């Protein structure tokens, strides 16, 4: 999975210009609304605190230390395994993967081999990167406009990487509907259950489908993953959190079970709304109907946002639309019927 995450390296030996290049790329990335973290990977001892200070003494005593001020803060922690902090070690790879859940892009600055794709900056007198430098997309010499060359590579790479994120499908089902008098996912149209139709459409558009919630599932769908709602949330959020915790580094097409007009074209449109920096797409319906979170796309970065809402007791998925990383486009007119749900026999008629 790590080879599909947005982890990009700016590598080179000492004084090759890595930090200067990153400083020039950051304003362009921020102009595009992207959140970026820079991970400086060193093979030697890292000193980030003043000897003699309480925080330094606590760290030397074996504790990980959080230092928090009014405008900044960081955690100084011990690397598992001691020497495992070397670039390319399992500890670093896991840390970088975890950062992708909170940022649109992880830029790794280093000078030793690392498994991430990278550009290599040549230093004075160098002609090639070392043979063990890992996957190098391009080598930039000291002449020419390095910033423009690096930006073209990084911009294309990040867009491609965003669309390479695996996509799974999540169908939310419930028990017996009080207004319908029967579980909605078992209602049939033309001899096909709504649940069967929804699963079939999601299977055609995604890598795997999970059915989330309680209720009977027909034998025809025994191959689909079954998940229970999480206990620490309510409503549909409990189902979406169950899916996202189950597979935390994939994106999700989420569909309720009561959307008989769902179509392949609708799912294709939702997938087309993915873009670097967009953590979820909640379509905004016309006539002031608000956003619709139950036929929507959720990038894996939305998991931390949903966890935060759940921790605050805010279980309305519509609250997610307040987040600056969430897109709320209006669907094309010819697809709007897909968002028409059925809650009563009158709706069904």
- Report how far residue 42's alpha carbon sits from residue 235's, in angstroms, rounded to the nearest whole number: 46
Higher confidence at residue 48 or residue 280? 280
Q: What tens digit of pLDDT does each residue of 68-108 get?
A: 667 776 767 666 544 433 334 456 778 888 889 999 999 98
Tokens 């699963």 appear where? 199
pLDDT digits (tens, 9 = 90+) for 219-231: 888 888 999 999 9
Question: What phi-psi label fits residue 344: left (phi over 0), alpha (psi between -120 and 50 degrees) or beta?
Answer: beta
Is 9 within 8 Å of 93 (Cβ atoms)?
no
pLDDT digits 0-9 by tens, 171-189? 999 755 556 567 788 788 8
Question: How far is CA 320 from each of CA 218, 238, 283, 292, rounded to the nearest angstrom?
Answer: 33, 14, 12, 11
Correct CATH for 2-43+86-164 of 3.30.390.50, 3.40.50.300, 2.40.110.20, 3.30.565.10: 3.40.50.300
Domain ranges of the chain: 2-43+86-164, 47-77, 167-348
Residue that is written with structure tokens 């639309």 in the block: 321
Q: What is the pLDDT of residues 34-47, one digit of tens each?
A: 999 988 875 545 55
Per-residue pLDDT at 251 exceeds 90: yes
CA dist., res. 36 & res. 276, Å (int): 11
- The pLDDT of residue 83 is 40
Q: Calculate mean pLDDT across residues 308-319.
A: 95
Among the four given CATH numbers 3.90.550.10, 3.40.50.720, 3.40.50.150, 3.40.50.740, the one describing domain 167-348: 3.90.550.10
264 and 204 in contact (C-beta within 8 Å)? yes
pLDDT in tens, 321-336: 999 999 999 999 999 9
Question: What pLDDT is stored for residue 84 in this prediction?
Answer: 37
pLDDT band at 115 (very low <50, low <70, confident <90, very high): confident
pTM of the model: 0.85
């Amino acid at each position: 999975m790590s080879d599909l995450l947005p982890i990009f390296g700016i590598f080179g030996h000492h004084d090759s210009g890595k930090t200067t290049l990153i400083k020039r790329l950051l304003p362009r990335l921020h102009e595009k609304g992207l959140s970026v973290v820079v991970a400086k990977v060193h093979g030697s001892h890292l000193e980030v605190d003043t000897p003699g200070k309480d925080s330094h003494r606590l760290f030397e005593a074996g504790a990980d230390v959080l230092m928090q001020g009014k405008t900044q803060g960081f955690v100084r922690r011990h690397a598992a395994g001691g020497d495992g902090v070397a670039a390319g070690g399992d500890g670093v790879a896991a840390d970088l993967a975890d950062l992708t859940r909170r940022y649109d892009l992880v830029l790794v600055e280093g000078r030793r081999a690392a498994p991430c794709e990278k550009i290599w900056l040549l230093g004075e007198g160098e002609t090639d990167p070392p043979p063990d430098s890992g996957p190098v997309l391009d080598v930039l010499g000291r002449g020419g406009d390095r910033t423009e060359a690096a930006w073209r590579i990084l911009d294309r790479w990040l867009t491609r990487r965003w669309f390479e994120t695996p996509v799974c499908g999540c169908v939310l089902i419930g028990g017996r509907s009080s207004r319908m008098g029967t579980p909605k996912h078992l209602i049939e149209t033309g001899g096909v259950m709504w649940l069967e139709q929804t699963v079939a459409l999601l299977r055609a558009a995604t890598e795997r489908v999970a059915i989330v919630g309680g209720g009977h599932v027909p034998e025809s769908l025994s191959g689909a993953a079954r998940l229970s709602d999480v206990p620490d949330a309510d409503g549909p959020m409990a189902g979406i959190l169950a899916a996202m915790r189950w597979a935390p580094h994939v994106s999700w097409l989420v569909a309720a079970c009561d959307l008989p007009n769902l179509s392949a074209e609708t799912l294709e449109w939702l997938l087309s709304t993915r873009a670097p920096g967009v953590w979820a797409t909640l379509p905004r319906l016309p006539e002031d109907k608000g956003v619709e979170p139950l036929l929507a796309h959720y990038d894996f970065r939305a998991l931390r946002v949903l966890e935060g809402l759940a921790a605050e007791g805010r279980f309305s998925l519509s609250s997610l639309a307040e987040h600056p990383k969430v897109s709320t486009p209006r669907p094309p007119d010819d697809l709007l019927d897909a968002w028409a749900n059925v809650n009563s026999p009158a709706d069904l008629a």
